[in-house]
Amino acid sequence: MEMSKNKLSGTIPSELSKLNELAYLRLDSNEFTGNIPPEMGKLTKLFMFNMSKNHMSGEVPQSIGSLANLNFLDFSDNNFIGSIPKELGNLQRLVSLNLSHNNQSGEMPSELGNLLSLQILLDLSSNSLTGEIPQNLEKLAKLEVLNVSHNYLSSRIPESLDNMLSLDSVDFSYNNLTGPIPSDGIFQTANAKYEGNPGLCGEVKGLHPCITNRNKSGGVNKRVLLGVLIPICGLLLGLICVAILVWRQHPKLNDEESESTQTSDKALSIVWGRDGQFTFSELAKATDEFNDRHCIGKGGFGSVYKAELGTGQVVAVKRLNISDSNDISPVNRRSFENEIRTLTGVRHRNIIKLYGFCSRRKQMFLVYEYVEKGSLRKVLYGEEGILELSWKKRMKVVQGIAHALAYLHTDCYPPVVHRDVTMNNILLDLDFEPRLADFGTAKLLSSEASTWTSVAGSYGYMAPELAQTMRVSDKCDVYSFGVVVLEIIMGKHPGELLTNMSLSCMEDSEVLLRDVLDQRLPPPTGELAEAVVFTVSIALACTRLAPESRPTMRSVAQDLSATTQACLLEPFEMITMSKLTGFKNNN
145: which strand partners? 169
Strand pairing class (24-26; 48-50): parallel
The answer to whether residues 148 and 175 touch, using CB atoms and an 8 Å cutoff, is yes
The answer to whether residues 356 and 343 touch, using CB atoms and an 8 Å cutoff, is no
Question: Can you tell me whether residue 2 is helix, strand or coil?
Answer: strand
The answer to whether residues 151 and 128 touch, using CB atoms and an 8 Å cutoff, is yes
Q: What is the DSSP string of 366-417?
A: EEEE--TTEEHHHHHHSTTHHHH--HHHHHHHHHHHHHHHHIIIIISSS-EE
Q: What is the DSSP string of 154-223?
A: EEPPPGGGGG-TT-SEEE--SSEEEEEPP-SGGGGSTTEE-TT-TEEE-SSTTSBPP-----S-HHHHHH
Kindly report the length of the chain.
587
286 Cβ neighbours under 8 A, 6+ residues apart: 294, 307, 308, 309, 310
Catalytic residue list: 420
Q: How far apart, in whole angstroms, are the C-alpha atoms of residue 426 and residue 409?
A: 17
Burial profile 390-402: b = 16 or more Cβ within 10 angstroms, e = fewer: ebebbbbbbbbbb
CA 85, 89, 92, 93: dihedral to nearest 10 degrees? 50
* Residue in 486, 509, 481 with CA at minimum distance from that of residue 498: 486
Q: How far apart, in whole angstroms, are the C-alpha atoms of residue 541 and residue 151?
A: 46
